[in-house]
Amino acid sequence: MAAAVRCPLPAAYCLLLSACCLLLATCTTYVPVAGGDNFAYIYGKGAAAIRLQARVYHASESRSVIWFKLRTRDLLYRSDAGGPFRARVVLKYEAYPTIAGGTLLDSASTFVKDASDDPKEDKDLIGSMEMRRNDQRSFTLRVTARDLNRDTETTVFIPVERGEPGHRQGFLPLSERGIPLFDDHVPAGMRVRVLCEQYAGRTLLAERLEAPRKLPAPVFAAAGEMPTMQVDSTYTVTVGTDGSFPFTADSSGLHYFRTDTAAAAGYTLFTFNSTYPTVRTAPDMVPPLRYITSLQEWDKMLTADDTRREVEKFWTDAAGDRDRARAAIDAYYGRVESANRWFTSWTEGWRTDRGLVHIIFGTPSTIHKNGTGEVWIYGEETNLMSLSFTFDKRQGPFSDNDLTLRRDPNFKGAWYRNVEAWRNGRVFQN
């Protein structure tokens, strides 16, 4: 184990390990995932023992890297003989043919050790480890972080696509300080660098597309067709000799990068408003309310001279008093923000089918995942009165996080019961 040394990055530490390099960065959002058959932890059902994010980057056709992020606050730091507090974590990956498992294709692990004078420090611990690619098959990666001091662990699952040129996993967004980002949506105005070493010195074609604004239909109605994506403008970017190019999103939309117009695969950066995925302004609060308001109520809020006051009036009238209204507002927009973090695809997470169900019904009791989609169950699995929503993965060039709901007229009663609960100021959770 190598000793910790100072890193030239401002306000950061760098631990040089035999298999991974760790950077201490500021806190950002995360997506906790638990292993096993019930994947409800993926979307916040209960507390993850260790908050873990991970993503795969194909640096070349034969070399891939797993980047991961931990929170120091989740780890147990122990001190021996009055020395600094130390955390010990084992990072392990396992490659399987599908998320359901099968024959183990490959595995490796590395030991992460961090030292701190403050055991309650809350920072991000970001690191990487090499992943062997003996062939170009697609598979599912199971990445596990185990805290040896506390004997707890958390697992994330990553679908790894073939390493052919142009695929989205051949791109890695970095902050201005060179720290990897763990999702592909960035606030408007944020400056990033996109690492794509396979294309060093090349010129890439970029297209800006307007994100569709259409809302998903209720769970009991016909879904309608997939909105058509319109190209707003085209431009080019030149990848430097270091294998990266700068990017600043000066307007919202989808920015799609490809090697040329004939390429079937590409990489998309999603840009929404400057505060996304959070909801911080009154105009941002109105659109998600369409799920529980009439068209007349919604239009009144959209056109009000004082939008915030109109939104607060809606919730106060619904809840009956300001305290209950405040609780309902916190719950509703908390779900909007979590939908943005988990379900963003070619549009904001709250506008997707999973976002719709998550906001109205909450986090399901049970989630089953397979290679083609997810099943969300509210209530006991064996109870005929339980609700079960099935989401199918929809293939597209812009995102691998796009799932569409199998709508059913039988959901109508449950939908209106939950909507009415929200309209009465009750935080409804099955």
Going by C-alpha positions, the residue among 56, 27, 51 that lies closest to residue 41 is 51
Indicate if the pLDDT at residue 399 is higher than 80: yes
Just give the CATH number of 187-213+229-271.
2.60.40
Q: What is the pLDDT of residue 251?
A: 73
CA distance 87 to 89: 7
- Comparing 171-185, 250-264, 408-422, the range with the smallest average pLDDT is 250-264
| Residues 6 or more apart in contact with residue 305 via CB below 8 angstroms | none
Name the segment(s) of the chain with CATH classification 2.60.40.10: 4-163
Query: Looking at the predicted structure, is the pLDDT value of residue 30 above 80?
Result: no
* Residue 28 clears pLDDT 50, i.e. is over it: no
pLDDT 10s digits, 235-269: 999 999 999 999 997 777 899 999 888 887 899 99
pLDDT given at position 425: 81
C-alpha separations of 296 from 83, 275, 292, 301, 302 in Å: 65, 28, 12, 9, 10
Residue 2 has pLDDT above 80, yes or no: no
Structure tokens at 232: 């707003």
Per-residue pLDDT, 318: 87
Average pLDDT, the chain: 84
Mean pLDDT to the nearest integer, 92-115: 90
Architecture of domain 4-163: Sandwich (2.60)
Res. 397 pLDDT band, cuts 50 70 90:
confident
What does the pLDDT look like over 264-283, one tens digit per residue? 789 999 988 878 889 989 88
pLDDT of residue 419: 94
- For residue 3, the model assigns a pLDDT of 29
Give the model's confidence band at 16: pLDDT under 50 very low, under 70 low, under 90 confident, else very high. Answer: very low
Q: Which pLDDT belongs to residue 218? A: 95
CA 288 to chain centre: 19
pLDDT band at 199 (very low <50, low <70, confident <90, very high): very high
